[in-house]
A = this chain, B = another copy of it.
Amino acid sequence: MSARLICWIMAMFVMVLTPGAKAEDGYDLWLRYPKAQGVALSGLSRHSESLLAPGQSSTAILARDELVRGIQGLTGRPPQSVTAIQGGTIWLATATDSPELAKLSLGLGKLGREGYVIRSVSVGGKAVTVIAADADQGLLYGVFGYLRLVQTAQPLDKIAVRSVPRMGLRLLNHWDNLNGTVERGYAGQSIWDWWRLPDWKGPRYADYARANASIGINGTVLNNVNASSDSLTAPYIAKSAALADVFRPYGIKVYLSARWTAPMEIGGLKTADPLDPQVAAWWKAKADEIYRAIPDFGGFLVKANSEGQPGPQDYKRTHADGANMLAAAVKPHGGIVMWRAFVYAHDNPDDRAKQAYADFKPLDGKFADNVLVQVKNGAIDFQPREPFHPLFGAMPKTPLMMEFQITKEYLGQSTHLTYLGPLFEEALKSDTFARGKGSTVAKVIDGSLDGHKLTGIAGVANIGADRDWSGSIFNQADWYAFGRFAWDPDASAETVAREWTAQTFTADPQFVEPVVKMMMGSREAAVNYMTPLGLSHIMGTGHHHGPAPWVSELARPEWNPVYYHRADAEGIGFDRTKTGSNAIAQYAPALARRLADPKTTPERDLLWFHHVGWDYRLASGETLWNSLVQHYDAGVAYVGGMQATWSSLRPYVDPVRFAETEAFLKIQAREARWWRDACIAYFQAISKRPLPAGAAAPEHPLLWYKAQSFPHAPGNP
Contacts and interface: CB of A to CB of B under 8 A. Distances in A.
A277 to B, nearest CB: 28
Contacts of A17: 13, 17, 21
Given A6-B6, A13-B10, A76-B15, A666 B199 contact: yes
A20 B23 CA distance: 9
A414 B203 CA distance: 17
Contacts of A656: 202-203
Given A188-B188, A712-B194, A199 B16 contact: no
Interface in A665-679: 666-667
A195 interface: yes
A3 B1 contact: yes
Interface size class on chain A is 35 or more
10 contacts: A9-B10, A12-B77, A19-B69, A180-B188, A180-B714, A188-B189, A195-B714, A199-B664, A202-B656, A230-B711
A178 interface: yes
A414 B196 contact: yes
Interface string A379-417: 000000000000000000000000000000000001100
Interface in A274-327: none
A622 B578 CA distance: 90
A1 B12 contact: no
A660 interface: yes
Interface string A184-226: 0000110000111001111100000000000000000000000
A271 to B, nearest CB: 23
A77 B660 contact: no
A361 interface: no
A666 B198 CA distance: 11
Classify the interface of chain A: helix, strand, loop or mixed.
Answer: loop
A600 interface: no
Given A17-B17, A19-B33, A1 B10 contact: no
A315 B168 CA distance: 67
Contacts of A200: 415, 660, 663-664, 667
Copies in the complex: 2
A201 B664 CA distance: 11
A686 interface: no
A667 B199 contact: yes
Contacts of A113: none
Given A6-B6, A465-B189, A196 B19 contact: no
A601 interface: no
B179 A19 contact: no
Interface in A505-545: none
B179 A714 contact: yes
A558 to B, nearest CB: 27
Contacts of A188: 180, 188-189, 465
A69 B196 CA distance: 35
A102 interface: no
A570 interface: no
A14 interface: yes
Contacts of A597: none
Contacts of A189: 188-189, 465
Contacts of A202: 656, 660
A77 B12 CA distance: 7
Contacts of A466: 465
A359 interface: no
A697 interface: no
Nearest to A663: B200
A201 B6 CA distance: 41
A72 interface: yes
Contacts of A228: 711-712
Nearest to A186: B195
Contacts of A467: 467
Nearest to A204: B467
Contact of A465 (B9, B465, B664, B711): B465
A699 interface: no
A150 to B, nearest CB: 15
A87 interface: no
A466 B415 CA distance: 21
A73 interface: yes
A246 to B, nearest CB: 13
A25 interface: yes
Given A10-B13, A21-B22, A189-B189, 15 more contacts: A6-B9, A10-B10, A15-B72, A20-B21, A177-B712, A179-B714, A194-B712, A195-B712, A196-B414, A196-B664, A199-B667, A200-B415, A200-B660, A202-B660, A467-B467
Contacts of A195: 414, 712-714
A78 B19 CA distance: 11
A35 interface: yes
A358 to B, nearest CB: 37
A177 B712 CA distance: 9
